Structure 1
Amino acid sequence: MNDVTPQPPRRVLIVEDSAVLRHLLMRVVTGDPRLELVEAVETAEEALRLVPRLRPDVISMDICLPGMDGLEATRQIMAHFPTPIVIVSDTVGAQATQVSMNALRSGALSVIEKPQGLSGAAGAAVAQGIATQLYIMSQVPVIRRRLMQAEPFRHKGMWTRPLDIRPRILALAASTGGPTAFARVLGDLPADFALPVVLVQHMGQPFMEGFAAWLDQHVALPVMLAQHGMQLERGRVLVAPGNRHMTVGPRGDVLLHDDAVVQGQRPSADVLFSSVARVFGADSLGVLLTGMGEDGVAGLGRIRGAGGYTIVEDRSTAVIHGMPGAAERAGAACISLPVHEITPHILRIVAGGQIPSEGPLAG
């Protein structure tokens, strides 16, 4: 006898001014038994009026809307009626990408590409992908604008144990919630930061160039998409391009390749972290930020196993604690810190300062 109570479908509000796209998205939602369409509207103003009454589980949000745009709508919703928001965006035009990235920083959970059609096998795959993204994000607990201006974290341990590593590279990875976390962590690094930086962000290929450009505008360090054979440089951030794995090579270069997906991802944090551990060993510094799934856990464990130092984002600030939480459970993390305390800790490490003698995951 099966006592599992069936879960009710997740309630979706669609905000899209194009009638054609609005009906495509309505077909996606109504065609998936996991979802229920509660309303589809053309403007942000209509959405703001309906959200407190309909209380949707997730919102599909267009960016370029008449009147109030999707960015301001996201800010308003997250400030007053926190609801998971998925940005459904054009991939053409720098302005659309810029606004999409700022919407992620304002509290939206993810950005996906607008469908061009739903016919045939390719269209069915697109519909399935959009529906799955809405379903997954509908279950993410959100709070009023998850804040980047948090009070300094008061660590329970004492900063008394001398540091015994001298890192030569900083490798980071994130998935859902990553753009905001990266903007905070990298934005707090000084322009003369002494290490090369490499990172993986799980995001659709069409958005990666815009993501790198957006991040470049928000941090002091230069940020760019990695190209095959590029040399690692101190104080420069190289971002893995969409749909390609990135590794570091023994000659201080980055290598891109099209090997099979790992943990469902390409680029994969596991692939990047594992190469960092292999090449830099005990001189590695790895950071795993917010995201769902387990990508990065094994690779972070290899960095720690090689004698490097590993940091994961604490559940108190992670939008989704899946990846960092899995790393904690696997013993891959030296320490878990809220996002606003990660960079101060990195700077102490790079300066040869002190690390906690006790406290969460220390040692």
Structure 2
Amino acid sequence: MRIGIVNDMPMAVELLRRLVVSTREHQVAWIATNGREAVEACRRDLPDLILMDLAMPEMDGVEATRKIMAETPCSILLVTASIEANVAGVYEAMGHGALDAVDIPSVGIAGNASSQSARLLTNKIAMIGKLVRDAPSRASGRISVATDPSPQRLVAIGASAGGPAAVAKVLSAFPIDFGGAIVLVQHLDAQFIPGLADWLGQHTPLPIRAAQEKDRPQAGTVLVASSDDHLVFKSAQQLGYTSSPKDNVYRPSVDVFFESAAQWWPGSVIGVLLTGMGRDGARGLRQLRDKGHLTIAQDEATSAVYGMPKAAAAIGAAVDILPLSAIGLRIIEACGRPT
């Protein structure tokens, strides 16, 4: 892949440059020292991937991501000094379409990146490279319902690039007495899930927490897949994790969870597929529709990256294709009907 590097620190730029050219598969397309330069560089020469810092002069990584995804869509990996210290910026940038985030590799005694931190970054680059090759496309007042103490409705949500902001928008429509059980599978490393849950909690009155082994979906509670393994139903009510299929590049996989819900959940399911690169979730959404469940895909106009919803639309997996602002209300409408 041709990779652009955006960072205002010379040492960081040199570390990233060495990592990129350490394999014959990649080359440096250009280097920018701030977000403004990156936006202009993309207009001249669009790379396959951008390694984007967050804190920079003139224009930060969040605004640069927003502008690039609006004008010249490109895969963006956030590589910054501390993800933990920039949680809000990370999820805001992901809302604009950044694919993932990682701390910049630490420096060893010889001035090179330490092997463990370098391996984490290079693995993410390799994963995004596969997603780029497989992707079918690149981007372009509350209502109250009666609480069901024993949830018969499951709202299964899948998302990837641009997902945090899209999920926040959907959840913001739900009232505190929302009667459905909600499970979210967001393509994101397990270490970032606690931060994601906290951030999403600012947008909804519903409790949000990481899904654990043997958890049971509960009415009015959001469970978030929290492992690099796949979240699945292991019985009609009980969740768990599995490493199979091991060769699935999407971890955790939306397809795997949707298919598990179609097989095990005893009540009705509302499957929702939001913005994201690739095609994960399309097959599982189709399986839910084939079993008579309501399925919803985000439309192109409101998707940060119209890959996963497009793949679902292409195979007729979605009953409804809706703008993001309408999805939450559609779910509430469906949950308001008797099962």
Q: What TM-score, normalized to structure 2?
A: 0.78
Aligned-pair CA distance for 1:175: 1.7
Residue 297 of structure 2 contacts residue 309 of structure 2 at CA under 8 Å; is this kept in 1?
Answer: yes
Q: 2:148 — aligned with what?
A: none
Q: 1:239 — aligned with what?
A: 224
Q: What TM-score, normalized to structure 1?
A: 0.73
Aligned-pair CA distance for 1:55: 4.9
Residue 191 of structure 1 contacts residue 221 of structure 1 at CA under 8 Å; is this kept in 2?
Answer: yes
Residue 139 of structure 2 contacts residue 303 of structure 2 at CA under 8 Å; is this kept in 1?
Answer: no
When structure 1 is superposed on structure 2, of 190-199 and 245-254 the one drifting more is 245-254
Q: 1:150 — aligned with what?
A: none
**CA spacing shift, 1:340–1:210, aligned 2, 3 Å:** same
Q: 1:23 — aligned with what?
A: 14
Q: Counterparts of 1:1-363 in structure 2 under 5 Å?
A: 10=2, 12-31=3-22, 36-44=27-35, 47=38, 51=41, 54-57=44-47, 59-65=50-56, 69-75=60-66, 82=72, 84=74, 86-90=76-80, 94-105=84-95, 107-113=96-102, 114-116=104-106, 123=118, 126-127=121-122, 129-130=124-125, 133=128, 141-142=138-139, 168-250=153-235, 252-261=237-246, 263-281=248-266, 283-352=268-337
Residue 155 of structure 2 contacts residue 271 of structure 2 at CA under 8 Å; is this kept in 1?
Answer: yes
**Is the partner of 1:333 in helix, strand or coil?**
coil
Amino acid at match of 1:110: L
**Is the partner of 1:256 in helix, strand or coil?**
strand
**Is the partner of 1:284 in helix, strand or coil?**
strand
Return the alpha-carbon distance in structure 1 between the equivalents of residues 36 and 306 of structure 2: 32
Amino acid at match of 1:265: Y
Query: Between Structure 1 and Structure 2, how many residues are aligned?
Result: 319
Structure showing greater radius of gyration is 1
**CA spacing shift, 1:223–1:33, aligned 2, 3 Å:** same
**CA spacing shift, 1:329–1:68, aligned 2, 3 Å:** closer
When structure 1 is superposed on structure 2, of 62-71 and 289-298 the one drifting more is 62-71
Amino acid at match of 1:24: L
When structure 1 is superposed on structure 2, of 214-223 and 234-243 the one drifting more is 214-223
Provide Cα deviations, 1:7-63, integer angstroms capped at 9, x if missing partner: xx74x4422244333212212444566755354344446556x54875544542112
Q: Give the share of equivalent positions with the same residue, in percent.
A: 33
Residue 83 of structure 2 contacts residue 90 of structure 2 at CA under 8 Å; is this kept in 1?
Answer: no
C-alpha RMSD over aligned residues: 3.5
Amino acid at match of 1:112: A
Return the alpha-carbon distance in structure 1 between the equivalents of residues 43 and 319 of structure 2: 45
Residue 168 of structure 1 contacts residue 196 of structure 1 at CA under 8 Å; is this kept in 2?
Answer: yes
Provide Cα deviations, 1:257-313, integer angstroms capped at 9, x if missing partner: 333336422211122112222222561111112223332233223322322211112
Provide Cα deviations, 1:189-235, integer angstroms capped at 9, x if missing partner: 22221111001011223322222222122233222111112232211
**CA spacing shift, 1:197–1:324, aligned 2, 3 Å:** same
**Is the partner of 1:271 in helix, strand or coil?**
helix
Q: Point out where structure 2 has 5 or more consecutive residues left out of the alignment.
A: 107-111, 141-150
Return the alpha-carbon distance in structure 1 between the equivalents of residues 265 and 241 of structure 2: 18
Residue 247 of structure 1 contacts residue 256 of structure 1 at CA under 8 Å; is this kept in 2?
Answer: yes
Aligned-pair CA distance for 1:101: 0.7
**CA spacing shift, 1:286–1:102, aligned 2, 3 Å:** same
Q: 2:144 — aligned with what?
A: none
Return the alpha-carbon distance in structure 2 between the equivalents of residues 262 and 291 of structure 1: 20
Return the alpha-carbon distance in structure 1 between the equivalents of residues 52 and 94 of structure 2: 11
Return the alpha-carbon distance in structure 2 between the equivalents of residues 109 and 295 of structure 1: 17
Return the alpha-carbon distance in structure 2 between the equivalents of residues 132 and 249 of structure 1: 28
Residue 89 of structure 1 contacts residue 96 of structure 1 at CA under 8 Å; is this kept in 2?
Answer: no
Return the alpha-carbon distance in structure 2 between the equivalents of residues 121 and 229 of structure 1: 32
Residue 286 of structure 1 contacts residue 310 of structure 1 at CA under 8 Å; is this kept in 2?
Answer: yes
